[in-house]
Amino acid sequence: MRKIIAELFISLDGVVEAPDQWHFPYFNDEMGAAVSAALGSADTLLFGRKTYDSFAGAWPEREAAGGEDAPFAKVLGDARKIVVSNRRLEFTWRNSEQLEGDLVESVTALKNEPGAGPIGMSGSVSVVRQLLAAGLLDELHLLVHPIAVRKGMRLFEEGDTPIPLTLISCETFRTGVLNLFYAPAGSVGQATYDDAKAHLPRHEQ
């Protein structure tokens, strides 16, 4: 079964909306390598409509312009791009198609298709939330920026059910950005302060 790996730019206070308005001062060669590794290794990309529209509105032109980002633009263009939307879409960016049918059923079928690499995601917060809730997201990569944006949509909405995660790896960039890799975890169990206080340092009176 193929893995689905989602990568998001996120602020210290959990904001994921409009990262183009706050994350570029932190974009260095380390982040460039992280983004390239996440999306460049995927032969299939899964998008929500808004994120797809943002990508499709920029990357084909960058590929055609032949600038320094053209090779990465070509990688994105050559990848199979699947878009989640409730309305019928028309595409001009090559290798783009719409996900048909129920999201959970269709993504489950997609994960069972043959393929060596992971299925990549960038942004597409509403889809990430649904896949996490359905147990279909295998890894969540968060590039945590050392800034509190203080407004905008956050990754996790309020809800009644916690979402336990386990940390796979972490890396600190020179800019202070944390590159955190998480995977879904099982239940964290129950505990009280009486359980926790056993781990407090003991001081002699």
Tell which residue, 55, 28, 15, 13, has the closest CA to residue 154: 15
What is residue 197's predicted lDDT score, i.e. its pLDDT? 87
pLDDT 10s digits, 135-175: 999 999 999 999 999 999 999 988 888 899 999 999 999 99
Nearest to 8 by CA among 163, 166, 177: 177
CATH (domain of 192): 3.40.430.10
**205 belongs to a structural domain:** no
Residue 36 counted as domain residue:
yes
Could you list the residue range(s) of the whole structural domain that residue 193 is in? Answer: 4-199
pLDDT, position 12:
97
Alpha-carbon torsion angle 162, 5, 7, 100, nearest 10 = -90
List, in order, residues 6 or more apart from 182 with CB less than 8 Å away: 139, 140, 141, 142, 165, 166, 167, 168
The pLDDT of residue 205: 64
Residue 23 domain-assigned (yes or no)? yes
Q: Domain for residue 22, yes or no? A: yes
pLDDT digits (tens, 9 = 90+) for 73-82: 999 999 999 9
Query: How many structural domains comprise the chain?
Result: 1
Burial of 65 (0-12, 13-18, 19+ CB in 10 A): exposed
The pLDDT assigned to 184 comes to 93
User: What pLDDT score does 68 carry?
Assistant: 94
Q: Which residues of the chain have pLDDT under 50?
A: none
Residue 204 lies in a domain: no
Question: Within a domain: residue 134?
Answer: yes
**In a domain? residue 69:** yes
